[in-house]
Amino acid sequence: MKRSIATVCLSGDLRQKIQAAGQAGYDGIEIFENDLMLFNESPSVVRQMAQDSGLEIIALQPFRDFECMPATKMQKNFDRAERKFDLMEELGTDTLLICSNVSPQCVDNFELAVDQFGELADRAGRRTFKLGYEALAWGRHIRDYQQAWKLVRHVDADNLGVVLDSFHIFARGRDLSTLREIPGDRIALIQIADAPWLKMDVLQWSRHFRCFPGQGDFPVVEFMESVLETGYNGYISHEIFNDEFRSSPCKRTAVDGMRSLLWLEEEVARSVPDLVDTEAEAVSHLPPKASVRDFEFVEFAAHGDDNATLVNLITSLGFRKTHHHRSKDVDLYRQGDACIVINEEPDSFAQNHYLVHGLSVCAVAYRSDDADGMAERASWLGYRSFEGNVESGELDIPGIRGLGDELAYFVQRDDTGQRFYDVDFQPIESPALPPSAPGTNMRIDHITSGISESEFLSISLFYRALFGLDIAQPQDLIDPYGIVVSRTATSKDHRIRLPFNMSRSWGASTERFREQHKGSGVQHIALACDDIVAFVKRLDPSIQLPIPQNYYDDLEARYDLEPDLLDALRTHNLLYDQCETGFLIHFYTRAFNGLFFEVLQRTRYGNYGENNAHVRMAAQARLRMIEPSV
């Protein structure tokens, strides 16, 4: 598959866009006419810039409002086309992309359109140029790819092909049956774009909410499978209109675009290997499959009084120090299957992280069936590796740069079932809760990150492409000071749950955390236990987030709860939610440096307590007004 990107996808001037595309590893680039018009160098200079970056200029686009205009305007349209052909010669490209007419002056006359495109194809052919025709989903009379293909087929010119854009196809439905019938050599170009499913004006949807494959909800893998069935073997090119991409660093966006194409190729090759040359070739170039299975540990960067603050909180939650690292100033605290590592090692990554962010999560480790394979997969996708200081006899745990300044580790258990702490840590004597004590069988249920708006789509791709997680559609959470947009990444068996939140509102919970934390990172760690009511009765209530009594009055009105349960909820600042199959009981701790814990009990309940999110955010905002340091 030859990979390309349109300059409209990227921020900056044309030179910056071309350089970013070349550095990201694309083979080709589409030149968006506006980018060329606003550039202060000649088209021949642009041609040389592309060559220097190892890029083929695969097309100039778009040529607008051509067909079926009034007779007085058609000669001007042909003159415009000749000027574009001159420009293409200077650029060194042989293809002009034409989009269906959106002008109110355009008439609905199929035969006339066939004649006009026939003449345009003749003119282009005399100069050895090719034309690609694309149906815009909001076109005046031609607005879907079936109509565009009908026109191209009737013109019957070897140098005129149809452009198939996944956004325009899915914006009007999901019928790919006609696409599979188009001969591959009659397809001029495949343009790929993903998007969330939205009910809105299609033009606004297209202009603001397109994204890279794997970042949205469109069935882009199905689209590419249909494309390959046609025998098409040309470029696959991004054409993305997105507000965040226009305002984000172009190099980062270009790299994410390349990752998305790699992910898309992998998905297609694994699902239908016979469509990608031979099965052996299709699979041989792929990285190991994603293989994260659970959370192994969460690592905090801490020092001095902040360390004491964290230890006081987690020991109140039942954690006990069970191990100390053999060669580093690192302690391990455990509660059931949940492991928290606290790192105070001088001159380490953790302490550098602490100097920037204060008391914070600096790494999350994931249990994997193939830790080295996950590191190889990350490298294939262009994520940076991390190598720490490893002493003789210690585990060399593969790591990568993950969300924000945090690390992601991949930990693999050996055949004997040894855990990471059996090798790198020495056990210490520590008082522990009796094994039979209710609520002590804890595990990490989910880890929520607070991120910036510009990272929202990139993190979606990170979890989907690297981790192989399912990404849910975004949902809005109501904060007293704005809207928090939340999305979740979840493994098939729900052992790994990774919500991530962003907000455009400076006063909302997520942005308050990012301000205090000085950047994006883990904001919320949820711990699952087996009997939360018994657990909370042993808990020091001063660590809990207080919940207004009015909440419980509303809860009593909404649900038919047993009086004893309702009284326990009210007494112990517990929140409650239910679904058709079960219920959730949970509470939150007070925050430290913007970060907080949640303890929950699930009973046939698969969600995240979203119905209580506004209660939690309002309680946190109220507490922050009373105690500004919280």
Which residues line the annotated binding site for Mg(2+)? 446, 524, 598
42-45 contacts, C-beta under 8 A, 24 or more apart: 42/90, 43/87, 43/90, 43/91, 44/90, 44/91
Output helix, strand, coil percentages for the chain, rounded to the nearest 5: 40, 25, 35
Helix and strand totals (H; E) in the chain? 23, 26
Residues in the chain: 630
Q: How many CA atoms lie within 13 A of 588 on its CB side?
A: 26
Q: Under a CB-based contact definition with an 8 Å cutoff, are residues 459 and 451 in contact?
A: yes
Token digits of residue 66: 């051509």
Q: What are phi and psi of 381, to 5 degrees?
A: -90, 0
Question: CA angle 375-238-128, nearest 5°?
Answer: 130
Binding site members for a divalent metal cation = 134, 165, 191, 239
* DSSP states of 415-454: TT---HHHHHEEE-------TTSTT---EEEEEEEE--GG
Give the chain's radius of gyration (CA, Å): 28
CA 40 to chain centre: 35
Q: Which residues are annotated as a binding site?
A: 134, 165, 191, 239, 446, 524, 598
What's the CA gap between 176 and 519, in Å, rounded? 43
Phi, psi of 211 (to 5 degrees): -155, 175
